[in-house]
């Protein structure tokens, strides 16, 4: 970590403490060059949303592909475009919420 005061990248961690909800770690650092103390916060970056296909292949989540899948599943059924948009929104929302695990698949039978 580069020191904000002297710009030298040479520090040691003197204290690390979890953030209240355990979503990250706060580290107290001291620059070994100028002794300036500063704090850094380390947090988890959520992985990009992926869709796991039945074949086990992973691909980046693509909202339009999900919608196309629903549109073809709803073909010849009395479902409006608006309803489809709502379903896609729901899937996007649920996927984001569960993306902490390895991935999400969308079985077509559920649609």
99/93 Cα distance (integer angstroms): 10
- Should residue 36 be labelled a site residue for Zn ion when binding is judged by CB under 5 A? yes
SS3 46: coil
Extract the tokens encoding 23: 């979503």
- Should residue 31 be labelled a site residue for Zn ion when binding is judged by CB under 5 A? yes
* Least distance CB 31 / Zn ion (angstroms): 3
- Should residue 86 be labelled a site residue for Zn ion when binding is judged by CB under 5 A? no
User: Could you tell me if 31 and 8 are in contact, meaning their C-beta atoms sit under 8 angstroms apart?
Assistant: yes
Around Cβ 27, how many Cβ atoms within 10 Å? 17
* CB closer to Zn ion, 36 vs 92: 36
* CB closer to Zn ion, 31 vs 84: 31
* CB closer to Zn ion, 5 vs 53: 5
Interface positions with Zn ion (CB under 5 A): 3, 5-6, 31, 33-34, 36
């Amino acid at each position: 970590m580069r020191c904000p005061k002297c710009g030298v990248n040479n520090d040691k961690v003197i204290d690390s403490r979890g953030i209240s909800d355990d979503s990250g770690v706060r580290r107290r650092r001291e620059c070994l060059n100028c002794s300036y103390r500063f704090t850094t916060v380390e947090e988890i970056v959520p992985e990009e949303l992926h869709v796991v296909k039945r074949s086990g292949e992973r691909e980046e989540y693509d909202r339009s592909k999900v919608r196309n899948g629903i549109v073809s599943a709803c073909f010849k059924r009395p479902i409006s475009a608006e309803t489809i948009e709502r379903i896609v929104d729901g899937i996007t929302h649920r996927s984001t919420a569960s993306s902490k695990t390895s991935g999400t698949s969308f079985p077509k039978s559920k649609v």
